[in-house]
Amino acid sequence: MTKEERLKKRHSAEKRFRFYGLASIFVALLFVLILVHNIFSKGSSAFMKTAINVEVFFDQELLEIKNDASDDEILEADFFDITIESLIKVYPAKNVEEEDAIIELFTTDAEIEIKRAFLENNNLIGKKINLEITASDDIDQLHKGNYPRDIPEDRRRISDFQLVIYDNLVENQKIVKNFNNYFFKNGDSRDPELAGIGGALIGSFYSIIICLLLAFPVAVLASIYLEEFAPKNKITDFIEININNLAAVPSIVYGLLALQILLATIQLPRSTPLVAGITLALMTLPRIIIPCRASLKAVPPSIREGALAVGASKFQSVFHHVVPLALPGTLSGTIIGLAQALGETAPLILIGMVAFVVDIPSTPIDPSSSLPVQVYLWSESAERGFVEKTSATIMMLLSFLIVMNFLAVYLRQKFEKRWN
Q: Which stretch binds other proteins (CB under 8 A): 57-65, 95-103, 258-266, 357-365?
A: 258-266
Q: Is 243 in the site for other proteins (CB under 8 A)?
A: yes
Which residues from 2-21 bind other proteins, rule CB under 8 A? 10-11, 13-14, 16-18, 20-21
Specify the pairing of strand 128-134 against strand 48-57.
Answer: antiparallel
Say which amino acid occupies 237.
D
CB of 45 to other proteins, least distance (A): 16
CB of 290 to other proteins, least distance (A): 11
Under 8 Å CB-to-CB from 408, ≥6 apart: which residues? 331, 332, 333, 335, 336, 339
CB of 312 to other proteins, least distance (A): 11
Using CB under 8 A, pick the residue from 254, 278, 299, 366 that binds other proteins: 254
Please report which helix (H) or strand (E) contains residue 134, including its range: strand 128-134
Q: Is 148 in the site for other proteins (CB under 8 A)?
A: no
Nearer to other proteins by Cβ, of 31 and 179: the residue is: 31
Size of the site for other proteins (CB under 8 A): 84
Nearer to other proteins by Cβ, of 32 and 96: the residue is: 32
CB of 369 to other proteins, least distance (A): 12
Name the DSSP class of 38: H
Using CB under 8 A, pick the residue from 65, 117, 230, 303 that binds other proteins: 230
Q: In angstroms, what CA-CA distances link 357 with 197, 360, 373?
A: 11, 8, 12
CB of 150 to other proteins, least distance (A): 19
CB atoms under 10 Å from CB of 273, counted, come to: 29
* Cα 330 from Cα 291, distance rounded (Å): 7
CB of 294 to other proteins, least distance (A): 14
* Cα 163 from Cα 82, distance rounded (Å): 24
Using CB under 8 A, pick the residue from 250, 297, 324, 358 that binds other proteins: 250
Nearest to 190 by CA among 105, 106, 107: 107
Specify the pairing of strand 175-179 against strand 48-57.
Answer: antiparallel
Q: Is 96 in the site for other proteins (CB under 8 A)?
A: no
Using CB under 8 A, pick the residue from 70, 130, 178, 260 that binds other proteins: 260
Nearest to 122 by CA among 74, 61, 189, 183: 74
CB atoms under 10 Å from CB of 120, counted, come to: 8
User: Are the CB atoms for 362 and 206 separated by under 8 Å?
Assistant: no
Nearer to other proteins by Cβ, of 179 and 410: the residue is: 410
Q: In what order do the strands lie in the sheet with 175-179?
A: 128-134, 48-57, 175-179
Which residues from 265-284 bind other proteins, rule CB under 8 A? 265-267, 282
Using CB under 8 A, pick the residue from 103, 239, 294, 365 that binds other proteins: 239
Site string for other proteins, 118-147 (x = CB under 8 A): ------------------------------
CB of 29 to other proteins, least distance (A): 6
User: Are the CB atoms for 50 and 177 separated by under 8 Å?
Assistant: yes
What's the 3-state SS for 376-403?
HHHHCCCCHHHHHHHHHHHHHHHHHHHH
Nearer to other proteins by Cβ, of 108 and 379: the residue is: 379
CB of 1 to other proteins, least distance (A): 17
User: Are the CB atoms for 378 and 389 separated by under 8 Å?
Assistant: yes
Which residues from 367-406 bind other proteins, rule CB under 8 A? 372-373, 375-376, 379, 387, 390-391, 394, 397-398, 401, 405
Q: Which stretch binds other proteins (CB under 8 A): 115-123, 142-150, 177-185, 222-230?
A: 222-230
CB of 403 to other proteins, least distance (A): 12
Which residues from 19-58 bind other proteins, rule CB under 8 A? 20-25, 27-29, 31-32, 35, 38-39
* Cα 140 from Cα 132, distance rounded (Å): 13
Under 8 Å CB-to-CB from 172, ≥6 apart: which residues? none
CB of 80 to other proteins, least distance (A): 29
Q: Which stretch binds other proteins (CB under 8 A): 79-87, 132-140, 163-171, 214-222?
A: 214-222
Which residues from 309-368 bind other proteins, rule CB under 8 A? 313-315, 339-340, 342-346, 349-350, 354
* Cα 159 from Cα 165, distance rounded (Å): 10
CB of 119 to other proteins, least distance (A): 31
**Alpha carbon 160 to chain centroid distance?**
37
* Cα 275 from Cα 269, distance rounded (Å): 7
